[in-house]
Amino acid sequence: METTIDSLLLGFSVAFQPGILLYAFLGCLTGTMVGMLTGIGPLAGISILLPVTFGLDATRAIVMLAGIYYGSQYGGSTTSILMRIPGEAASVMTCIDGYAMAQKGRAGAALCIAAVGSFIAGTFGVIVLTVVAPPLGQFALSFGPPEYTALLILGLVFLAYMSSTSLIRTLLMAGVGLMIGCIGIDVMTGHFRYAFDIPELGDGIGIVPVAVGLFGLGEILSTPSHTVTAKVTSPRLAELLPNRKEWRDSAMPIARGTVLGFIVGIVPGSAHIISSFLSYALEKRVSKHPEEFGKGAIAGVAGPESANNAASTGAFVPMLALGIPTGPVTAVLMAALLIHGVPPGPTLVNDHPDVFWGFIASMYVGNLMLLALNLPMVSVFVNVLRIPYSYLYPLIIMFCIIGVYEVNHSIVDVWIMLIMGLVGYLLRKFDFDPAPLVLGRAAGHIGDHFYDEAQGLARQARRGRVGRSLIALRRGPDAVTPRAIRGLRAWCGNHNLAEIGGVCPVGHTSDFVCLPV
């Protein structure tokens, strides 16, 4: 615990640097707007703005991008309550009772409860993340390819059950994503798979063109400008405070939504969307007055808004501790970290403590910023909606192209994005959720590699009966446990491992390097 507090203090010393604070603020501000605007969700927002972070260091980049993610959960509630327009999918449930409250003249109270609920849920999520992620990361250091393969399969099974569409549709999407992940050179055998003599495809299809195409361009293609009409209304500052009954009625829904959202957030799937649906259903079930739901029940705002914020924080646990994405947004954030040379996963806490703890500390600060931004500034933010969509979507297309091109400076990526945009449009027409496809793409790329490695280790284990030790050694010095050394010693005879430090001289295996310990 003492170590955690020390580390957190290190994080705050990073997070309070003016540069980090500025990028946290920019992320939260952009996220709030992304959450409000129809046609651009957090995934597209993060992907499009990814190149903006290329000139930054890893901490600033991840702080800004994560700010967009959790900021969008705050922003989405504003348009849902005031205009019955969900800026992004997780705010759909807020439309029902939030807008009904606005019709009764209680828009300010609904906005305040949504913001306070989001703040409590977000802060709770960060506290649990602070406590859980480092030990989980330490535990995951003992994971090897077999464990990761099993974990990815478990993730895909969870995904199938937790998706917003039917089981078969989700599996189909995840399968297509896994197939896309197979494109490129097979690292174990060196074979080109489905590269069609296009050299750029040798490295595979990146997650950014897939995500931007499906969620950014795909949404624009299916949203003609004449269908987007927004009559902007904004509450006065004096109307923002809820009355005592509204506070009392929202306390338990916020608490339930927070816990439920965080748990759902850890599980693969479109967690922030599903958590808000589950929370709404839960509140309606436990309410003494379920008939009030749909007519302006404050619990119908407090629960879902808390849940989607807690879920977006919960999703960071497997990403930071295990290096496994649980949703398309965390998959893109992982790609962003990799672009900045910081591999997410168990080694992140030890190898890049400034990034890890700086990021966590910035989330405490970011949640406070969002509370301050979203309450008094709400009447300012809604003015963003006055920008006509006919001006907005050409701008989004341009940023989609910049965003995708800048990752690898490859025009092939832009073509892939266009194709994915078309695919995204068709998937929407045929009622498929593209989120499992992005997740499948992320899992496929690492899953295939882990599976092959696991099989290679299993072969070695059968021959030499030291598989577990080799698996531990293969992962690097941090993973070399006394048990692993004992296993290798038993296999190698009486060699002093400290003297080996290279390829095993007795040639028990040519595949593995015995690391110095």
Contact 246, 299 (CB under 8 A): no
CB of 392 to other proteins, least distance (A): 11
Site size for other proteins, by CB under 8 A? 58
Q: Rounded CA gap, 201 and 13, in Å?
A: 42
Alpha carbon distance, N-terminus to C-terminus of the chain: 28
Q: Is 217 in the site for other proteins (CB under 8 A)?
A: yes
Contact 448, 181 (CB under 8 A): yes
Q: Which of residues 401-430 bind other proteins (CB under 8 A)?
A: 401-402, 405-406, 409, 411, 414-415, 418, 421-422, 425, 429-430
Comparison of 186 and 351: residue with beta carbon closer to other proteins = 186
Q: What is the DSSP letter of 515?
A: P
What is the 3-state composition of the chain as percent helix, strand, coil, each rounded to the nearest 5?
Answer: 75, 0, 25
* Among residues 169, 474, 475, 508, the one that binds other proteins under rule CB under 8 A: 169
Select the span of 16-24, 95-103, 336-344, 394-402 touching other proteins (CB under 8 A): 394-402
Q: Mask: binding to other proteins, 456-475, rule CB under 8 A, as x and -?
A: --xx----------------
* Among residues 224, 501, 505, 516, the one that binds other proteins under rule CB under 8 A: 224
- φ and ψ at residue 387, rounded to 5 degrees: -70, 120
* 3-class SS letters over 115-126: HHHHHHHHHHHH
Q: Rounded CA gap, 107 and 47, in Å?
A: 32
Question: What is the identity of the amino acid at 334?
Answer: M
Which residue has 């306390």 as its token pair?
Answer: 251
Comparison of 191 and 486: residue with beta carbon closer to other proteins = 191
Mark out the alpha helices in 352-477 (DSSP H runs): 353-374, 378-381, 389-408, 411-429, 435-464, 467-474
Q: Is 105 in the site for other proteins (CB under 8 A)?
A: no
Strand pairing partners for 503?
513
Comparison of 418 and 513: residue with beta carbon closer to other proteins = 418
Comparison of 324 and 361: residue with beta carbon closer to other proteins = 324
Select the span of 11-19, 149-157, 235-243, 390-398 touching other proteins (CB under 8 A): 390-398
| Six token digits for residue 106 | 């209680």
Q: What is the DSSP string of 6-73?
A: HHHHHHHHHHTSHHHHHHHHHHHHHHHHHHHSTT--HHHHHHHHGGGGTTS-HHHHHHHHHHHHHHHH
Comparison of 224 and 290: residue with beta carbon closer to other proteins = 224
Calculate the alpha carbon distances from 451 to 73, 206, 440, 516 in Å: 36, 20, 15, 26
Q: Is 194 in the site for other proteins (CB under 8 A)?
A: yes
Select the span of 25-33, 254-262, 297-305, 453-461 touching other proteins (CB under 8 A): 453-461
* Among residues 223, 379, 408, 481, the one that binds other proteins under rule CB under 8 A: 223
* Among residues 127, 179, 228, 485, the one that binds other proteins under rule CB under 8 A: 179
Q: Rounded CA gap, 275 and 236, in Å?
A: 30
Comparison of 127 and 172: residue with beta carbon closer to other proteins = 172
* Among residues 84, 193, 295, 489, the one that binds other proteins under rule CB under 8 A: 193
Q: Is 197 in the site for other proteins (CB under 8 A)?
A: no
Select the span of 137-145, 295-303, 329-337, 452-460 touching other proteins (CB under 8 A): 452-460
Select the span of 224-232, 328-336, 343-351, 478-486 touching other proteins (CB under 8 A): 224-232
Q: Rounded CA gap, 88 and 92, in Å?
A: 7
The SS3 of residue 317 is: helix
Select the span of 108-116, 167-175, 469-477, 504-512 touching other proteins (CB under 8 A): 167-175
Q: Is 386 in the site for other proteins (CB under 8 A)?
A: no
* Among residues 4, 147, 153, 175, the one that binds other proteins under rule CB under 8 A: 175
* Among residues 113, 126, 176, 201, the one that binds other proteins under rule CB under 8 A: 176
Which residue has 């703890």 as its token pair?
Answer: 357
- φ and ψ at residue 376, rounded to 5 degrees: -70, -25
Q: Rounded CA gap, 279 and 107, in Å?
A: 21
CB of 327 to other proteins, least distance (A): 21
Comparison of 280 and 432: residue with beta carbon closer to other proteins = 432
Nearest by Cα to 132 from 327, 262, 269: 262
CB of 30 to other proteins, least distance (A): 14
Q: Beta strands 192-193 and 184-185: pairing type?
A: antiparallel
* Among residues 391, 493, 496, 498, the one that binds other proteins under rule CB under 8 A: 391
Point out which residues bind other proteins (CB under 8 A). 51-52, 54-55, 168-169, 171-172, 175-176, 178-179, 182, 186, 188-189, 191, 193-194, 217, 220-225, 227, 390-391, 393-395, 397-399, 401-402, 405-406, 409, 411, 414-415, 418, 421-422, 425, 429-432, 444, 448, 451-452, 455, 458-459
